[in-house]
Amino acid sequence: MSDRQLATGITLGKAVLGWFRLLNDPGAMLIRPFQSVDPYPQYERIRALGKVVPSRLGMLLVTDYQLCNEVLRDPAYGVAPNSEVGQPDLGLDGLVHPLEDSFLFRNPPEHSRLRRIVSPLFTPRAMHERQGRIEAIVDDFLDQLAGRDEFDLVGEFAARVPIKIICDLLGVPDAEHRRMTQWGTVLAASIDGMGSMGQVRELRATLRELNDFLAARIAEHRAEPNDDVIGRMLADGTMTEAELLATSGLLLAAGFETTVNLIGNGVLALLANPAARARLVDDPDATDAIVEEILRIDPPIQYTARLSLDGALLAGRPVPAGKVVLLLTAAANRDPAVFPDPHRFDPDRPNAREHMTFSSGVHYCLGAGLARMEGGIALRALFRRFPDLRVAGTVQRRPSRVVRGPLRLPVRVTSRQPAAIG
Ligand code: HEM
């Protein structure tokens, strides 16, 4: 496909969406050019239409918790790479895309083969061993804010912690953090699909740079083996160069902005719920429950999709192969049949951890344990350091429908030194 055809495809796609939006199509209403400040009323409108809601865009929308869970766990549904769901060919010319070409977009058995190689780095024990390092990283970034009265919580804290942790995993030096941040931002924005040729060109340039960068890291690891993620993949000895590039890139693409937004959404939720915020500061044992409720009520990833394969059923009825099913996991997290009084922030709800923010089934987030730990450590340390932290300007939201969270969150604080030991 030439760039001219691609540009026409993008323009036509936007026109169709706009037209269906005018017709009030529930799918088109969801796929807005920009995420609304509050997408949750729209999910409730879809829920009111039924458990399975067809859209003129050709997909089925699901808000029901039980059904989302069933589809995500059902081998009669697979992941839906863009190339298989009628999205235009972006002309990536052999470049490896960390989302599309990684095991996130592979079905078993290929998925299981690749996931198994990196899984040992994410076990509870491996996480426990990382805890001290993550606490030190968080404290260091908070120290750097000492003496400041105002700062952008996202740019100067929430975005710095996850990038540093991913770079640690991949053995990437500090000097490269800025570039990793830029690449991660472009990749996260690409999840929504391409809105313009400018965005396509930016994605191509990013993938070219990221592919070269990761290929160089892999070559370094070949010359000097070690036991970080790349070292472990090389030691396995079965992965192709493209699989090595895709899996390394996946950790950046999947683990960066998701966690940034867990911290950003967490700050907003805690500012709106002072009792939970006080508990977070006073009682370390309350941290896990508070983080789960933040993940449930305002997920960094709002939905995912699956493609029906032969013999797929949905709510007991056959679905033709090749149908896209949009699983609105952020809506499933507010299914009143599973989470009573679902719009209320309540860290005491006994089943908050059953949310679907990390998906379900074989693609359940590999980094869930890491994200939970990072979120808990970052939020607790932040509010302990700055007990009077408050919003100091306009909160700017990310221009994404899938990735939810603040892009800029100006805050004001009264700086104080870290509490002395004892
Ligand atoms: C709050 C933070 C995070 C959220 C909300 C999140 C969410 C998700 C979701 C929803 C999926 C599955 C998508 C699907 O089923 O279609 C997923 C997969 C994945 N995530 Fe996360 N994630 C987070 C943090 C992380 C971190 C920190 C890492 C690692 C550094 C990570 C690595 C992965 C990987 C490797 C997969 C692919 C799993 C597979 O396909 O088997 N994630 N994540």
10-42 confidence digits (pLDDT tens): 888 888 888 888 878 888 888 766 656 789 999
Q: How far apart are CA 40 and CA 90, in angstroms?
A: 32
pLDDT the model gives residue 420: 47
- Among 102, 161, 258, 355, say which to mutate for ligand 1: greatest number of ligand atoms within 8 Å of CB: 258
- CB of residue 255 inside a 6 A radius of ligand 1: yes
Around Cβ 209, how many Cβ atoms within 10 Å? 14
Both tokens assigned to 60: 């089925």
> What is the tens place of the pLDDT at every residue in 214-265?
999 999 999 998 888 999 999 999 999 999 999 999 999 999 999 999 999 9
- CB of residue 326 inside a 6 A radius of ligand 1: no
Around Cβ 15, how many Cβ atoms within 10 Å? 10
What CATH fold (topology level) applies to the domain 3-412?
Cytochrome p450 (1.10.630)
Task: Name the residue among 23, 42, 18, 47 with its Cα closest to residue 335.
Answer: 47
Q: How far apart are CA 100 and CA 253, in angstroms?
A: 11
Q: What is the mean pLDDT of residues 127-135?
A: 96
In terms of phi and psi (left: phi > 0; alpha: psi -120 to 50; beta: otherwise), the region of 226 is beta
- CB of residue 142 inside a 6 A radius of ligand 1: no
Q: What are the residue ranges spanned by the domains of the chain?
A: 3-412
pLDDT above 70 as % of the chain: 96
Position 351 confidence tier, pLDDT thresholds 50, 70, 90 = very high
Crossing angle between the packed helical segments 177-190 and 197-223, to the nearest 10 degrees: 130
For 72, the enclosing helix (H) or strand (E) is helix 65-73
Task: Kindly give the distance from the C-alpha atom of residue 419 to the centroid of ligand 1, in angstroms, as a whole number.
Answer: 34
User: Any alpha helices (H) in 78-123, and if so which ranges?
Assistant: 110-118
Ligand 1: residue whose CA is nearest its atom 43 = 365
Q: Return phi, psi of residue 412, to 5°.
A: -120, 140
> What is the tens place of the pLDDT at every residue in 161-205?
999 999 999 989 999 999 999 999 999 988 888 888 998 999 999
Ligand 1: residue whose CA is nearest its atom 30 = 255
Q: How far apart are CA 406 and CA 326, in angstroms?
A: 24
The SS3 assignment for 52 reads strand
The SS3 assignment for 314 reads strand
Query: Do 92 and 204 contact (CB within 8 A), yes or no?
Result: yes
Task: Name the residue among 176, 168, 281 with its Cα closest to residue 229.
Answer: 168
For the purposes of burial, counting CB atoms within 10 Å of the CB of 202, is it exposed (0-12), middle (13-18) or buried (19 or more)? middle
